[in-house]
Amino acid sequence: MIVLFQVVIPIFAIILCGFLAGRLSLLSFESTSSLNNFVYYFALPALLFYSLATAPVDSILNVDFILANLGIIISCFLLTILIFRFIFKKRFPEVTMYGMITTYGNTGFMGIPLLVAAFGQEAAVPAAILTFIYDLVIISIVVGSFETAKALNQKQSEQVNFGVLLGMIAKTVLKNPINASLLLGIIVAISQVPLPEPVYVFTDTLGPAAGPTALFALGLGLSGQRSVVKNKHYQLSELLTLLALKLVALPLLAILFVYVIFPLDDELWATSVVILSALPTGAIVYVFAEKYRTLVREVPLYILATTIVSVMTISVYLVLMVE
């Protein structure tokens, strides 16, 4: 149980500090946006760029790691689609939004900061690669599904331009500053192009601020979510199913893939995959819900519910995986 006191409690104590700061009006709920923007556009890209640019090339091109994560994503995504198509009678492409809810985790604002706080900066490398894989695969499926369905509904299936579709997906993925920093870091590591020392000093100094700031902002954001709790536009059976898929099924699939199907030699990398799979649904899912006008009222509640419940489930996974 020593890991509970050395890792779990300090991490969630930072989240609690943010929550109390909001509830005691020490900081306004609106401050959450400023803190998140600092993490999203500055601190986290700096952390990920530095971690990948200085990482060994062999670790970045870890085939088993990539295949394991592809297997995890696709398995849970398909399982979600089957459940919501045949049990809850949802239609295409709406079922892909449910798939995004159960597979797209809050890696940027919770996962990477949590892993770095728990295991040190070396944990940022597997977390960064996993983040890019999840973005590329899940966003590609969702965008491709809705754009294809839109064309079919307009009876213009013969005019579906896959070049435009690929461009749209690439733009969506690369507009994310986190993904841009990942790609840049990978390019530097593989090409072994020497960068000026001030660049490394800058990123190494700025990057560590990402973890505590993101966790504090998460707590502050939770303090102002009372209106979301009052949301009545959802079915309890769907909510419980999504919670089970996101916080139980996905981590169990991760354990299966990284320890049995594609066993990873590095324990830190295996642990990182499991913990990141146990994350709550990421806020970017709401961006896609609004974009495609699907589950707009339900998604904020699903994000909040998975976030609150994950405080308990992630604690359990951390204790089990580390001990």
Residue 247 banded pLDDT, cuts 50, 70, 90 = very high
Q: Percent of the chain scored above 70 by pLDDT?
A: 89
pLDDT of residue 246: 97
Q: Above 70 in pLDDT, residue 231? A: no
In this prediction the pTM is 0.83
pLDDT of residue 226: 63
Range of the domain at 303: 2-190+210-322
pLDDT of residue 75: 97
The answer to whether the beta carbons of residues 32 and 224 sit under 8 Å apart is: yes
22's CB contacts (< 8 A; 6+ apart) are 28, 29, 32, 219, 220, 221, 222, 223, 224
Residue 244 banded pLDDT, cuts 50, 70, 90 = very high
Nearest Cα to Cα of residue 118 among 287, 271, 244? 271
pLDDT digits (tens, 9 = 90+) for 121-143: 888 889 888 988 888 889 888 88
Question: What's the rounded Cα separation, in Å, for the pair 252 and 52?
Answer: 27
pLDDT of residue 318: 83
Domain assignment of residue 295, yes or no: yes
pLDDT digits (tens, 9 = 90+) for 257-307: 999 999 998 999 999 999 999 999 988 888 888 888 898 888 888 988 898
Whole-number CA gyration radius for the chain: 19
The answer to whether the beta carbons of residues 46 and 208 sit under 8 Å apart is: no
114's CB contacts (< 8 A; 6+ apart) are 11, 211, 215, 275, 314
Residue 8 banded pLDDT, cuts 50, 70, 90 = low
111 or 4, which is more confident? 111
Domain assignment of residue 200, yes or no: no
Domain assignment of residue 308, yes or no: yes
Which CATH number is 303's domain given? 1.20.1530
Domain assignment of residue 121, yes or no: yes
Q: Above 70 in pLDDT, residue 229? A: no
pLDDT of residue 159: 56
pLDDT of residue 157: 47
pLDDT of residue 102: 97
Question: What's the rounded Cα separation, in Å, for the pair 184 and 180?
Answer: 6
The answer to whether the beta carbons of residues 311 and 275 sit under 8 Å apart is: no
The answer to whether the beta carbons of residues 300 and 231 sit under 8 Å apart is: yes
Q: What is the mean pLDDT of residues 314-318?
A: 86
Q: Return mean pLDDT, the chain.
A: 85
Question: What's the rounded Cα separation, in Å, for the pair 280 and 17?
Answer: 20
| Overall number of domains in the chain | 1
pLDDT digits (tens, 9 = 90+) for 147-181: 778 776 765 545 556 666 677 777 776 777 877 88
Q: What is the mean pLDDT of residues 248-252?
A: 96
Residue 230 banded pLDDT, cuts 50, 70, 90 = low
Domain assignment of residue 198, yes or no: no
Phi, psi of 173 (to 5 degrees): -70, -45
Q: Percent of the chain scored above 90 by pLDDT?
A: 30
The answer to whether the beta carbons of residues 82 and 88 sit under 8 Å apart is: no
Domain assignment of residue 202, yes or no: no
